[in-house]
A and B are shown apart, each in its own frame.
Chain A
Amino acid sequence: MRALNKLDEEGQLLLGVVRELMGKYGESYWNKMDESQSFPEDFVKEFMKLGLGAILIPKEWGGGGKGVREASLILREINLLGGNSYFVHGHYYLTAMLVRCAGKEMRDWLFPEVVQGKRVMTLALTEPEAGSDSTRISTLAERQGDRFVVSGRKVFISRISHTDYFVLVARTKRVDEVRKKTEGVTLFLVDANVRGLQMRKIRTMSNTDAYELALDKVEVPEDRVIGEVDRGFPCLLKTLNAERVMIAAELLGNVRWFLEKSVDYAKRRVVFGRPIGANQGVQFPLAEVYARLLALEELLDASVEAVEGEEERRAGEMANALKYLSAELAWDAANVAMDVHGGYGYASDLGIERKLRETRLYKVAPVSQNLALSYIATAVLGLPRSY
């Protein structure tokens, strides 16, 4: 796989670290966390302690100076070894965002903290009335002297009870006060235990640790603005491409996991006197998953290079195409795995149904499949917009 082969020596060593870590947190750990809907705190703590949370921070602040390639492959590795990288992926795309957009002053105090293990795991963007249509958010940040006072509501905000900081997206100008709806949006770095923040856990289909938030006059000092006031949206968009590639890599990790489990089972399970894998009805779907996986693993490599490059349209089309196709493939692979395993796929012990539920999320989040296609249709193919 080209994306892997291009890793340098340090990147390879980091993957070795992830493998050893996953050796301590095997499938039964993740099954247990899922069963009790618990945040895998021990795993995340150790992940941070090993410095895996600091790989994207530039070397001058003591970080690893690595990029989207390493982050993506680490997330993929966690998933292909049976884990759920959901619990750390936010930290990767948010540190990627901060490296791109935070000003000098913020870098100087924040990056050493991240290197010490502080977490930035959460983006608070989605609102009850604004999901796909993210410029429609109405959470408002009003300037009062040297601070902003923020009120509004957010929904489906992941991991916020286990992070040190979160990135809050709010309007500093109402949508009807700006020429373009992407203007007037500001990103803030907020302490997770800030006053005026209330949260309520949302029970979801898989173990997600997602919350509904109410912000009631939350005070954020002006030096906590990431980048420039009113100009947060372009930064957000750029990071979203990196995020899509990382999510796709995770999904391709899941595909490998589903495939390995299923091929192994299809060889061993004997029905009507022969292994079920001898039947074309069983082997063809597996072969098809493998064929699609091969293609997408190559696309992953090209997409990593596109999002690390300067050409924005190329990054957008690659990231969206890769995320769309990977989420479809992972979901199909999950269902093939369920079929191959018969009743045992439905039983919880093997973890197949857990992984299926975890995989389903990515047809909706962080961007829905329709919206990924809509980007390709409008921004790339030049078709008229539906919005």
Chain B
Amino acid sequence: MLADLLIHPRLVRVEVGLNVVVGFKVVPDETLIKVSSGKLDMNVAVKISTYDKNAIEEAVRIKESTGGKAIGVTVGNTDRKTIREALSMGVDEVVAISTQYTDVLGTATAIAEEVRSMNPDLVLFGETTTDGSTSGLGPMVAEFWGVPVITFAKSIKLDGKVIRAERSLTPVVEIVETELPTVVTVTGEINSPRIPTLRQIMESSKKPVRTKEFKSSPMASLDSVEPYLVQRKRIVLEGKTEEVVQKLIEALRKEGAL
């Protein structure tokens, strides 16, 4: 056996790098959205949706450890600066698909089309977006592409073509295993996304961004976005601390908070 390997060095098993596709969405920065005279002011700076950053980080780590490639896909708002942020974090290239308003199904159709043509080993998404919050995209893409899906992963381990993940399902953690290719959605616990450095920001300008258009007629339409306002009850409990604490507990019980 050893002799075989020496004579035929090509028989040595080479670990090939994994190709990872990572979906990320450009969303309004929710920390900047304000309510003024009963309406939401959505005209704010955009950002990469929070957990999608975790997905990008995970994709880049896998790429770095296996020597493969990480390709970003974004659908909808294709803000250049935000795409460059993903590239600065270590994504090698981005496919930017612009659309008019589309629902999750439309987004899933567009991404599945890309995924099929790229045929990667792994597709990563954040567990949910900070605007739409459907958590539906990952499972839909997996369905269209015809591969298994693992949702809410708080850790993933790769061993050749086998992927093992811990699913964070409060209050339990489920450990699952499957074979690549697969789709995984990740939670915020999986990692701390890196902050890009000056050098990475500068180098990101040279990385390719392929722009495309996608036309779809959404199955569901977005009629309006209204602020969800919670009126404070403004109840002040006065008196000695010992007595007030008891009253507070009672009041919270009555509200169903305890």
Contact = CB atoms under 8 A, between A and B. Distances in A.
Contacts of B80: 9
B121 interface: no
Contacts of B81: 9, 12-13
Interface string B138-168: 0000000000000000000000000000000
Interface in A257-286: none
B67 interface: no
B218 interface: no
A17 B199 contact: no
Contacts of A9: 80-81, 84
A99 interface: no
Contact of A64 (B88, B195, B202): B202
A110 interface: no
Interface string B74-91: 000000110011001000
Interface string A57-70: 00100111000000
B199 A13 contact: no
Interface in B195-210: 195-199, 201-202, 205
B93 to A, nearest CB: 17
Interface residues of A, number: 19
Which of B81, B198, B202 gathers the greatest number of chain A CB atoms within 10 Å?
B198
A21 interface: yes
Contacts of A20: 195
A167 interface: no
B197 A50 contact: yes
B201 A10 contact: yes
Contact of B195 (A17, A59, A62): A17
Given A9-B80, A10-B205, A16 B198 contact: no
A283 to B, nearest CB: 18
Nearest to B53: A20
A13 B197 contact: no
Interface in A50-88: 50-52, 54-55, 59, 62-64
A49 interface: yes
Interface in B57-114: 80-81, 84-85, 88
A155 interface: no
A140 interface: no
A14 interface: yes
Interface residues of B, number: 13
Contacts of A52: 198
Contacts of B199: 51, 62
Contacts of B195: 17, 20-21, 50
A207 B196 CA distance: 29
A64 B197 CA distance: 11
Contact of B198 (A12, A21, A54): A54
- Residue from B81, B84, B85, B195 having most chain A Cβ neighbours under 10 A: B195
Interface string B186-201: 0000000001111101
A16 B85 CA distance: 9
Contacts of B88: 13
Contacts of B201: 10, 13-14, 17, 51
Contacts of A14: 198, 201
Contacts of A16: 85
The CB with the most chain B CB atoms within 10 A, among A13, A20, A54, is that of: A13
B40 to A, nearest CB: 19
Given A9-B80, A12-B81, A17 B205 contact: no
A10 B202 CA distance: 7
Interface string B170-195: 00000000000000000000000001
Interface string A9-36: 1101110110011000000000000000
B198 A50 contact: yes
A21 B193 CA distance: 12
Nearest to A63: B198
A338 to B, nearest CB: 26
Nearest to A50: B197
A147 B174 CA distance: 70
Nearest to B234: A270
Interface of A: 9-10, 12-14, 16-17, 20-21, 49-52, 54-55, 59, 62-64
Interface of B: 80-81, 84-85, 88, 195-199, 201-202, 205
5 closest residue pairs by CB, A with B = A51-B198, A51-B197, A20-B195, A13-B201, A50-B197
20 contacts: A9-B80, A9-B84, A10-B202, A12-B81, A13-B81, A13-B84, A13-B85, A13-B88, A13-B201, A14-B201, A17-B195, A17-B196, A17-B201, A49-B197, A50-B198, A51-B198, A51-B199, A55-B198, A63-B198, A64-B198
